[in-house]
Amino acid sequence: MFNLAPMFDMAPSALALIFIAFCLGGLVKGVSGMGLPTVAMGLLATVFPPAQAASLLFVPTVLTNAWQLATGPSPFAALKRFWPMVTANAVMAVACAGLLASAYAHYATVLLGVVLLVYAVFGLSGRRLPAPAHGGERWMSPAVGLATGALTGGTGVSVMPAAPYLQSLGLDKEALVQAMGLSFTVSTLGLGLGLWLAGGFAAQSLTGSALALIPAAIGMAAGQALRRRVSQTTFKKVFFVGLLALGAHLALGG
């Protein structure tokens, strides 16, 4: 299963892009607790087909988010509260992942660019979604899960609208990071299963995905160090401006 030959067959420029993409994705995650798949998928999609880019993300995304979930205050409490959201998320991610491996993958790249643009504009606005009305979480969570799963399956990125929705719930910092870890883990597992069922997840991809843990870990370590030196406000502005440019490039040139 772990065959190194496909990696050696890649052009040096492609290998360099993989290294840079996961270093930058890890850096963002180290600073903010999220953003590895968003950044890495956006960069990888400029060169690789969407299904291959999503496959390369699988191991680093699952392991880092599972760790984020497991080290939070109460994984079982998070699962008990958000199981309707993550169940709907997983089902839709599996159902929609075929787009990345289909003849319409070109549109997946454009859709990814649009999602990144919307996320960047929303982030730069400084606004938050309004909290659900009393009792509204019971129907909002599954709806958000369905939308997140559909976008995960169609773009390979699981941040929208799950992250803004979770931020609207007034969770404390640790519980929020844990809830996002749960949502992103389930999204990625659903995406991986959906790609495999659609024939878009080659076993050889696991080699590159496992090796991508190295630059992702380097980036996360750097991000954790940077977090102590740069304000969250400054970092978020730079992050979202970069995401805006990347999203525009993919949406217009995809």
Contacts within 8 Å (CB) and 24+ apart, 35-40: 35/159, 35/239, 36/60, 36/61, 36/64, 36/216, 36/220, 37/61, 37/156, 37/157, 37/158, 37/159, 37/184, 37/188, 38/116, 38/119, 38/157, 38/159, 38/243, 39/243, 40/212, 40/216
What pLDDT, on a 0 to 100 scale, did the predictor assign at position 143? 95
pLDDT per position in the chain (254 positions), as tens?
445 555 556 778 888 999 999 999 999 888 877 788 888 998 998 888 888 889 899 999 999 888 888 877 888 999 999 999 999 999 999 999 988 888 788 888 888 889 889 988 988 888 877 877 777 888 999 999 999 999 999 898 888 899 899 988 988 878 888 898 899 999 999 999 999 998 887 666 778 889 999 999 999 889 888 877 878 788 778 888 888 888 898 888 65
Condensed to tens digits (0 to 9), the pLDDT of residues 123-155 reads 888 887 787 777 788 899 999 999 999 999 989
d(CA 107, CA 100): 9
Query: In this structure, are residues 97 and 241 in contact, taking their beta carbons and an 8 Å threshold?
Result: no
* Residue linked to tokens 């994984």: 75
What pLDDT, on a 0 to 100 scale, did the predictor assign at position 141? 94
What pLDDT, on a 0 to 100 scale, did the predictor assign at position 234? 82
Rg of the chain over Cα atoms, rounded to whole angstroms, equals 17
φ/ψ bin of 170: left (φ > 0), alpha (ψ from -120 to 50), beta (otherwise): left
Cβ partners under 8 Å of residue 183, min gap 6:
82, 85, 86, 89, 148, 158, 162, 163, 166
Each domain of the chain, given as residue ranges in start order, spans 5-253
The model's pTM: 0.84
Query: In this structure, are residues 115 and 160 in contact, taking their beta carbons and an 8 Å threshold?
Result: yes
Residue 31 burial by Cβ neighbours in a 10 Å radius (0-12, 13-18, 19+): buried
Condensed to tens digits (0 to 9), the pLDDT of residues 153-193 reads 989 888 889 989 998 898 887 888 889 889 999 999 999 99
d(CA 218, CA 234): 22
d(CA 57, CA 189): 11
Q: Residue 82: which of 150, 181, 174 has the closest Cα?
A: 181
Distance, C-alpha 4 to centroid of its chain = 25
d(CA 190, CA 146): 12
